[in-house]
């Protein structure tokens, strides 16, 4: 391509949009810490004490927002990592879970799912179920069916 186009080799990718990219021979890690720190600065919580675990939520909205931002501050450098695989065969593994009546207003449950190819995260989702489940068994069945479709 360098023969056809004027190009410069800038080395390994370090940032893409707001995603920090760390690369070495064995692994690539994606992290949004710069975005997290920007949100903390804009909210006036850049100096908040980092917490990796959320405290019990309070009834007041701003207290809950501050609680979430403390959690985000404590996990700002967490990210997704993708390891180089030596084995040619990779296994697709998925996990899913749901709550029953997570939203008391419309009685719908919240589902969550995550899929790995080998040790690498490839997709995840968390959303409200489209229909009302009448039991925890039914909520889990709906979640499993939704996850199976997502996995395919």
Are the CB atoms for 17 and 64 separated by under 8 Å?
no
Does 79 lie in the same domain as 26?
Answer: yes
- DSSP annotation of 56 reads P
What's the pLDDT score for residue 86?
64
Residue 139: CB atoms within 10 Å: 24
Residue of higher predicted confidence among 1 and 128: 128
pLDDT digits (tens, 9 = 90+) for 94-142: 898 888 877 778 888 888 888 888 878 888 888 888 888 888 788 888 8
Tell me the whole-structure pTM to 2 decimals: 0.52
pLDDT 10s digits, 18-41: 889 888 888 888 888 888 888 888
Residues 80, 92: one domain? Answer: no
Q: Among 149, 152, 104, 148, which Cα is nearest to 128's?
A: 104
For residues 5 and 66, membership in a common domain is answered with yes
* Residue owning tokens 């199976």: 148
How many domains is the chain partitioned into structurally? 2
Mean pLDDT of 58-73: 75
């Amino acid at each position: 391509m360098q023969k056809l186009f004027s190009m410069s080799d800038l080395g390994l990718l370090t940032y893409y949009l707001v995603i920090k990219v760390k690369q070495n021979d064995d692994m690539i890690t994606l992290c949004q810490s710069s975005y997290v720190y920007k949100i903390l600065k804009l909210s006036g919580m850049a100096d908040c004490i980092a917490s990796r675990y959320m405290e019990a939520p309070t009834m007041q909205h701003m207290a809950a927002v501050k609680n979430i931002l403390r959690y985000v501050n404590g996990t700002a450098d967490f990210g997704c990592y993708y390891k180089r695989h030596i084995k040619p065969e990779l296994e697709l593994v998925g996990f899913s879970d749901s709550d029953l009546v997570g939203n008391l207003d419309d009685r719908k449950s919240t589902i969550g799912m995550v899929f790995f190819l080998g040790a690498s995260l490839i997709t995840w989702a968390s959303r409200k179920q489209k229909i009302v489940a009448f039991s925890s068994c039914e909520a889990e069945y709906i979640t499993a069916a939704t996850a199976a479709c997502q996995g395919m």
